[in-house]
Structure 1
Amino acid sequence: MTGWTEYTLALVAFTASHFVPRIGDLRGRLIGRVGRRAYFSVYGLLSLALLVWVIVAAGRAPFVEVWPQAPWMRWAPNLLMPLAAVLIVNGIGIAQPFTLGGRRQAVFDPADPGFAAISRHPLFLALALWSLAHLVPNGDLAHVILFGLFAALALAAIPIFDARAQAHFGPDTAPAFFRATGLFSLAPLANRSWRKRNGGRLVKRTAIGIILWAALLLGHTAVIGVSPLP
């Protein structure tokens, strides 16, 4: 299998895994048969395996330079990845069901939006940051396609999920939902009431996010084969 053939197959498989389950309500029928927990456990493992395959296949694809790497470009992932890691940890299980990683059974309370006040789509933003940060120093064709596709998918998903929230809440209550949440805002940190309810959890999860980033940084050379340092 040539490098471009494997890469194309990996991209098609990864992309299809996110769209095929929605055809004919296949996902709904599978959830009804095996249960939500089993479905998302298997789907999560499959998505992770396909993601690893795409990344590995991109490294094996022939090198075709789109733009050269300049030394300053390596600062992009080093500056943005800590924020992406913090968003990931704070976004897992967010009490906002209309986003990636949100608790599906959560009942959103506009008076206490939790981390959604900072970002109602933290995992999508984290994926976009990861993609764009790595796009800058990786100017070969395979990685431009890879990171460009991931960034596009993440950013395109945000208005789609916002539309679902709009449809769920309806014209009367949707404005309260959007006023209580933000795409990305640090204003809640200046709100004493918000800090009192969420400050402890935010500090703990942010610390875990920094540890996650440090682990990714230290393991990058061993796992990916390329030093991330400028």
Structure 2
Amino acid sequence: MALIVLGLALWWGAHLFKRLAPARRAAMGDAGKGVVTVGILAGVVLMVIGYRGNEAPDLWYPPDFLKHVNNLLMLFAFYLYAASGMKTRITGIIRHPQLTAVKTWAVAHLLVNGDLASVVLFGGILAWAVVEVIVINRAEPRPPAPAPAPMGKEIGALVGAVVVMGLVGLVHGWLGVRPWG
């Protein structure tokens, strides 16, 4: 569990560094990007190693139907992430589509994983995304809504989300997790 917590601390610290210490981050110049990247990657590695090697007790036993809810939420999370990069119509409605995607991902995983390690990991990422939105909203005014995107971008984001979800499902299967039930 300690590796998960340490990984979360690195993730939080690296992501919030620019917002909480902007002068210090700016003084680092381009080298600061490398420091942040190393912090994030180290955090992810520690979280994965800690999660995979943890034998945490079960706190609840999710019913099987929640896998379907999880999959629907995951499709929406992948769509939001793709839509953010493609500046589709939803980016005019949701101010932080990538962070909303992360929050959706975390909630989806909390629904289907009832062990303590999952609550710490996915709950920690969910809490980070909520804090990140609050910090950004306080620091920056809401930008103007983007112009409506062409339908091709909407379709591209949806197709991309389905393809990525399929690939992530395959990886989960290779790791021994059955995301489709």
Question: Structure 1 residue 69: deviation in Å?
Answer: 2.8
Q: CA RMSD in A?
A: 2.8
Give yes or no for the alignment of 1:51 onto 2:44. yes
Give the paired residue count: 180
Q: Tell me how far 1:49 sits from its aligned partner.
A: 4.1
1:90 correspondence with 2:86? no
For 1:150, the equivalent position in structure 2 comes to 125
Question: Residue 63 of structure 1 aligns with which residue?
Answer: 56
Cα distance between partner residues in 1 of 2:33 and 2:158: 26
Supply the AA of the counterpart residue of 1:73: L
Q: TM-score with structure 1 length normalisation?
A: 0.67
Q: Distance in 1 between matches of 2:27 and 2:3?
A: 31
Structure whose CA Rg is larger: 1
Q: Does 1:229 align with 2:148?
A: no
By relative contact order (CA 8 Å, sep 6+), the higher-ranking structure is: 2
Cα distance change of structure 1 residues 93 and 156 upon mapping to structure 2, 3 Å threshold: farther
CA deviation after TM superposition for structure 1 residue 115, in Å: 4.7
Counterpart-to-counterpart distance in 2, 1:49 and 1:76: 31
Q: Which amino acid aligns with 1:5?
A: A
CA displacement at 1:67 relative to structure 2: 0.9
- Structure 2 residue matching 1:205: 3-state secondary structure: helix
> d(CA) in 2 for partners of 1:7 and 1:64?
15
SS of 1:119's equivalent?
coil
The answer to whether the 8 A contact 2:10-2:39 is kept is: no
Residue 188 of structure 1 corresponds to none
Matched, 1:215 2:172: no
Q: What is the match of residue 135 of structure 2? A: 160
Verify: 1:11 aligned to 2:8, yes or no: yes
Unaligned runs of 5+ in 1: 95-112, 167-173, 182-192
CA distance, structure 2, for counterparts of residue 16 and residue 86 of structure 1: 27
Structure 1 residue 83, shift from structure 2 partner = 0.9
Determine the C-alpha separation between the residues in 1 that align with 2:16 and 2:83. Answer: 26
Alignment partner, residue 67 of structure 2: 74
Counterparts in 2 of 1:117-156, with a 5 A limit? 117-156=92-131
Partner amino acid, structure 1, of 2:10: A
Distance 1:76 1:156 in 2: 25
- Paired residue for 1:203, among 151, 155, 168? 155
Contact 1:74–1:229 (Cα < 8 Å) also in 2: yes
d(CA) in 2 for partners of 1:204 and 1:68? 37
Counting only pairs closer than 5 Å after superposition, residues 106-121 of structure 1 correspond to structure 2 as 115-121=90-96
TM-score w.r.t. the length of structure 2 is: 0.82
Q: Is the 8 A contact 2:107 2:122 kept in 1?
A: yes
How many Å apart are 1:13 and its aligned residue? Answer: 2.6
Q: CA deviation at 1:221?
A: 1.8
Deviation at residue 145 of structure 1 after TM alignment:
1.2
The runs of 5 or more residues in structure 2 that have no matched partner are: none
